Amino acid sequence: MNVQEMIEDYTDSDVDDQDEFEDAEDVPISTDMTLERALQEAQQAINYFFNNQFNEAKQLMTPYANVSMYHSLGHSVFLFLEAILTFEQQSIIEASKSLKQSLIVCNKYKKKNTIGESLGKIVKRTNFEQYTEEEAHAELCYAECLLLKAMLTFMEDETLSSFIKAGIKIRSCYNSYKNCQQILIRRNWENDNKVHFESGVKMGIGTFNLMISLLPSRVIKLLEFIGFSGNKQKGLEDL
């Protein structure tokens, strides 16, 4: 199997993964956890983290990790950090499993297109103004989960096939971030939650560009073969 065939194979696999998220067991939507409260608790968890109160941060995120997109993302981020700091195989497996669950949770809140809307994308641009605030934040959380999942894929296995699979995930992640950027620009924001969304988009795109630019040269060459590369200077500017 040549490289091009491997890329096509993993592109199909990536589509299958998306179908898996769509067909996964229904994730209950929390009725008492609002977006505003989720953002507040996510900010509190960040404050705990930077004050070295790691247990408090994890305890704040865990109870709603299966129903709230920001709690799920926060819970996965802490496991991801543990995995990359220890490089223990079990930690990597747990972080990967948590991120997969986070993708399912985020997908539950993402905007769902009808068949007509999906076909309409072929002839006209997506109307980002129609995104609700919750759908916009779900798109952002989904992109962040994809980026972390791709980074873990590089750690799990250093074979060429894993690099290609991770590259496909990064491409999907980048497309999600581009959608978020368009939502930020085109949507009519009526409250202070735009600040949280904007900071997430800039941090995500900045981190994306910076992390890709710092990967080993052989990985960067592979990503360039797939069709894109990270921009270190742009990443630093966004951050």
| Predicted pLDDT at 14 | 45
- Give the model's confidence band at 216: pLDDT under 50 very low, under 70 low, under 90 confident, else very high: confident
CB 101 within 8 A of CB 93: no
| pLDDT above 50: residue 218 | yes
| Predicted pLDDT at 114 | 65
| pLDDT above 70: residue 58 | yes
25: amino acid identity, one letter: E
181 CB-near residues (< 8 Å, 6+ apart): 201, 205
Average pLDDT, the chain: 79
Using CA atoms, how far apart are residues 10 and 29, in angstroms rounded to an integer? 31
- Half-sphere exposure of residue 23: CA atoms within 13 angstroms, side-chain side: 6
Using CA atoms, how far apart are residues 65 and 57, in angstroms rounded to an integer? 12
